[in-house]
């Protein structure tokens, strides 16, 4: 039992060290364009404003399928926010990064714990819903979602592992919401 616990701690320490090394590599990377755009994108994605705006576009211009996609996307974000922010963050208690990024792009550290990234989880949840309804939008919607996740590391508020965990959580939530919606007969067609 002690050997298993020791091995688990060793693996977790190694993963944590890798996470911090990747974070430091991103922190040392300088790009005037990213220094300007990543903090703005991260702020726009706060409280899921970015995804609510895109959902509104689907609802207004997408007919019945767009409205169903918008509703499913908002449900997925709601479920995800509950799980990421009220459940997992309170279980993990991971501290935010203490290594600094340049002031030009640094965001104020949120009060919540670091694991998982709620911004990324919401981005992945919403993009996961859109993936199923509009497969042709897979690349742009997932590209935007992944960029939101990257912005959280680039601005110094999350480790890469927080972002990966948020991504997997969001995609899992999207699968469940999509499945339940189909079972209830509300899911949009996956054909454009």
pTM of the model: 0.84
* Range of weakest confidence among 7-11, 23-27, 41-45, 89-93: 7-11
Confirm whether 84 is domain-assigned: yes
Angstrom CA distances, 41 to 36, 68, 117, 120, 145, stand at 9, 26, 15, 12, 10
CATH no. for residue 179?
Answer: 1.10.606.20
Instruction: Give me the mean pLDDT over the 140-168 stretch.
Output: 93
How many structural domains are present in the chain? 1
Confirm whether 135 is domain-assigned: yes
Q: Are 117 and 152 in contact (CB under 8 A)?
A: yes
Q: Which domain holds residue 60?
A: 2-183
**Euclidean distance between the first and the last CA atom of the chain, given in angstroms as a whole number:** 54
Instruction: Give me the mean pLDDT over the 30-55 stretch.
Output: 92
Confirm whether 188 is domain-assigned: no
Instruction: Give me the mean pLDDT over the 143-163 stretch.
Output: 92
Share of the chain above pLDDT 70, in %: 87
């Amino acid at each position: 039992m002690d050997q298993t616990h020791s091995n688990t701690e060793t693996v977790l320490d190694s993963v944590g060290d890798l996470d911090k090394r990747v974070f430091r590599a991103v922190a040392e990377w300088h790009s005037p364009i990213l220094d300007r755009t990543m903090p703005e994108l991260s702020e726009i994605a706060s409280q899921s404003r970015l995804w609510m705006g895109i959902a509104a576009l689907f609802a207004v211009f997408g007919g019945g399928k767009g409205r169903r996609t918008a509703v499913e996307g908002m449900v997925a974000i709601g479920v995800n926010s509950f799980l990421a922010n009220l459940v997992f963050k309170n279980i993990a208690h991971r501290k935010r990064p203490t290594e600094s990024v340049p002031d030009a792009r640094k965001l104020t550290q949120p009060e919540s714990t670091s694991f998982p990234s709620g911004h990324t989880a919401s981005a992945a949840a919403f993009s996961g819903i859109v993936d199923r309804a509009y497969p042709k939008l897979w690349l742009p919607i997932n590209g935007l979602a992944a960029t939101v996740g990257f912005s959280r590391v680039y601005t110094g508020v999350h480790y890469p592992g927080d972002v990966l965990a948020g991504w997997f959580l969001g995609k899992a939530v999207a699968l469940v919401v999509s499945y339940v919606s189909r079972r209830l007969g509300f899911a949009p067609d996956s054909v454009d």
